[in-house]
Structure 1
Amino acid sequence: MFAEAAEASAVVARQRGANAAVIAALATRLRTAPPRSVSTCARGSSDHAATFAKYLIETVVGVPVTSAAPSISSVYHAQQQLDDTLLLAISQSGRSPDLLSVVEAGRAGGAYLAAMVNDATSPLAELADAPLPLQAGPERSVAATKSYIAALAAILDLVSAWAEDAELSAALDAAPALLAQSWGADWTPLVAGLADSRGLYVIGRGLGLGIAQEAALKFKETCGLHAEAFSAAEVRHGPMALVGPDFPLLVFRQGDETGEGVDALVAEAVSRGGTVFCTGVEIAGAVTLPSVAAPPAIQPMLQIQSFYRAVNALSVRRGHDPDRPPNLRKVTETV
């Protein structure tokens, strides 16, 4: 896990060059024949990347994004009408039966299928109208790291080309160097602070929500530490009742319009006696985790890279093997 996460910088640089032509072609199609909606299809870490895609597409392009429920196709076998819809499938293996059932039903229902998949020889890649290889290379650790960051980079690449957003494209050009800096960020206070914890909330909002979801999953699978991800807006609707001296928070914060609300939540949690770890901003009473300065759209990707190094260290400190989580395997074949 440690070695593969450290490769993320090189992966993003490789992907950016290798996928330039296919990204440009898909972006041209999306501008020429704009979809009325986007439907994402993914599981696990890939679904957390899909959450990021929802916020990025809706805020940059303005097209509504929904998440397809695989059971609709794989269990209920219901037909769907997806004319003028971009079906965006995200997967490491491209082999999960329920994922394949969604894309087969989606194409039958009229959707145009773009597939971000790490295995370019997989059934999902073969089904796609526009296959977008993640270019992450072999990933042997059960816990996905570099392939997750590769999915975020592919989403950023597609959206910047689709919207012809020069600033977003320039931010992605700088991402490999910034990822390398992020890998070196010192998050040891998080490791020390959670060494004996039994549970926590992981908070994000907007573009940061998918990263919070991914971090919560990694706490569970690599550290045996129960974690729940919430939007900074949703955590006040009941979950805040648990926050206190024995229930910490990890807060991901990017410097966009969500920042003020996230800061208010951190201050409230601190006032309740909670231990709060917050990325990139100093708030009285909270533990600041360093975050590399960057445009807000790529800050979540950089922060999850810093997190991966920390969670690997936390896993080892808690006596776990981060490469071999119990009861899990690399390819999950859900029906």
Structure 2
Amino acid sequence: MFAEAAAAPQVVARQLESRDQRRRIGERLRRTPPTLVVTCARGSSDHAATFAKYLIETRTGVPTASAAPSTTSVYEARPRLEGALCIAISQSGKSPDLLASVEAAREAGAFVIVLVNDTGSPLAALADEVVPLCAGPERSVAATKSYIASLAAITGLVADWAEDEALAGAIDDAPRLLERAWDLDWSPVVDLLRDRTSLYTIGRGVALGVAQEAALKLKETCGLHAEAFSAAEVRHGPMAIVGADFPILVFRQRDRTAQGVLALVEELASRGARVAVPGDAPGGAIALPCLESHPALQPILQIQSFYRAANALSLARGFDPDRPPHLSKVTETL
């Protein structure tokens, strides 16, 4: 896990060699704009799809929703997707329910883009466009570099689709910034969570998918019960169990969500919760180092810093981060 997460900058650098494909896809999406975007993914890839939802909707205005694979693989429903874009995200490209969902989307008239690490997989064979994640072999059960590769690929595609030069420039700079993010000291997260049993992870907008990914990694590698919430939703019920010393890990970016997330951090800290947050922290909160960059890139850099801390936390809690109990690398959900 440690070595693979550390390799993320090189993975993204390899991706950036395929700019011509990105531009071609972007031109196609502008020429024939989709009426709807449907994402298909499981696990960490589905958290990348959450990131994609916010980025696509805010940059292009096209409604984006996550498909429930079981509606086709189990219930045999036939979606109506004429004129839609289907984006499937996977490391292995082998899960049967994902294959059934994407095949149904293609048969229903959707234009299918597959983001996949194994370009020879059955999922890749269903695509109109295959976007290689370029992560190479990933042996750790807990996905790291392939998750960051998914976020980078999504960001690049949306940048070219929306003709957003600032976003395109940010993803071009991502390899350099990911290297710096890996070296940041997030050991306060280890100190905060070493002896805990549960926590919340929080994000909003593009950071929500990163908060979901962090919660999954804390379950997989550290044996912690971690739940992810939107900063806009945590007050609707989950706040009831937040009291003194309750641990919370926040991810954030400097966009229109910033003020609301800061207000939430201040409220949580005032209740005595132990809140760790990247960047400037209000009184009582734990400040984690972070890098200034484009708002869409900030959560990607933060999850890179988190991965190093999660690996250290797993070892500190007596776990083997490379061999989570009861899990395998490819989950073949029916």
Q: TM-score range by the shorter chain?
A: over 0.9
Partners of 1:260 and 1:113 lie apart in 2 by 37
| Matching residue of 2:118 | 119
In the alignment, the residues of structure 1 paired with residue 95 and residue 57 of structure 2 have an alpha-carbon distance, to the nearest angstrom, of 27
Structure-1 residue corresponding to 2:300: 301
Structure 2 residue aligned with 1:99: 98
Q: What SS does the aligned partner of 1:245 have?
A: coil
- Are residues 1:261 and 2:260 paired? yes
Tell me the CA shift for residue 28 of structure 1: 1.1
Structure 1 residue 278: deviation in Å? Answer: 0.6
Match of 1:164 in 2: 163
User: What TM-score do you get using the length of structure 1 for normalisation?
Assistant: 0.99
Deviations 1:3-46 (A, max 9, x none): 000000010011111x2222121111101100001000000000
Which structure 2 residues correspond to residues 76-155 of structure 1 after superposition, within 5 A? Answer: 76-155=75-154
Give the aligned partner of residue 244 of structure 2.
Answer: 245
CA distance in 2, matches of 1:164, 1:254: 21
State the identity %. 64
- Structure 1 Cα separation of the partners of residues 67 and 231 of structure 2: 24
Does the residue aligned with 2:296 lie in a helix, a strand or coil? helix
Question: 1:157-181: per-residue Cα shift (whole Å, max 9, x none)?
Answer: 0000001111101111111100000
Assess if the C-alpha contact under 8 Å between 2:47 and 2:210 holds in 1: yes
| Superposition deviation, residue 318 in structure 1 | 0.1
Question: Residue 245 of structure 1: CA displacement?
Answer: 2.2
Structure 1 unmatched runs, 5+:
none
* Deviation readout 1:238-262 (Å, 9 max, x if unpaired): 1011112242100111111101110
Residue 289, structure 1, aligned to residue 288, structure 2: yes
Say whether the 8 Å CA contact 1:114–1:131 is kept in structure 2.
yes
The answer (yes or no) to whether the contact 2:246–2:272 under 8 Å persists in 1 is no
- Structure 1 stretches (4+) deviating beyond 3 angstroms? none
Aligned to 1:228: 227
* C-alpha contact 2:84 2:109 (8 A) present in aligned 1: yes
Give TM-score, length-normalised by structure 2: 0.99
Which deviations, in whole Å up to 9, do the C-alpha atoms of 1:187-223 show, x marking residues without a partner?
1111011100110000000010000000000000000
Distance in 1 between residues matched to 2:54 and 2:143, nearest whole Å: 22
SS at match of 1:66: strand
Q: How does 1:51-70 map to 2 (within 5 A)?
A: 51-70=50-69
Confirm or deny: 8 A CA contact 2:40 2:98 kept in the other structure.
yes
CA distance in 2, matches of 1:81, 1:236: 36
Residues in 1 aligned to 2:245 and 2:96: alpha-carbon distance in whole angstroms: 41
Partner of 1:8: 8
Report if the CA contact (8 A) 1:41-1:102 is conserved. Answer: yes
Asked if 2 retains the 8 angstrom alpha-carbon contact of 1:205 and 1:233, the reply is yes
Q: Summarize deviations over 1:32-74 as a string: whole Å, max 9, x none.
A: 1000010000000000000000000000111110110001100
Paired residue type of 1:311:
A
Q: Distance in 1 between matches of 2:175 and 2:266?
A: 33
Kindly state the Cα deviation for residue 275 of structure 1 after the two structures are TM-superposed. Answer: 0.4
Question: How far 1:77 sits from its partner (Å)?
Answer: 0.3
Q: What amino acid is the match of 2:44?
A: S
What's the CA shift for 1:293?
1.1
Structure 2 CA distance for aligned equivalents of residues 101 and 95 of structure 1: 10
Instruction: Kindly indicate whether the alpha-carbon contact (under 8 Å) linking 1:252 and 1:278 is maintained by their aligned counterparts in 2.
Output: yes
Contact 1:244 1:275 in 2 (8 A): no
Give the Cα separation in 2 of the matches to 1:4 and 1:26. 29
Give, in whole Å, the separation in 2 of the partners of 1:283 and 1:258.
16
Kindly tell me the number of residue pairs found equivalent between the two proteins.
334
Amino acid aligned to 1:46: S
1:311 aligned counterpart, secondary structure: helix
Structure 1 residue 281, shift from structure 2 partner? 2.0
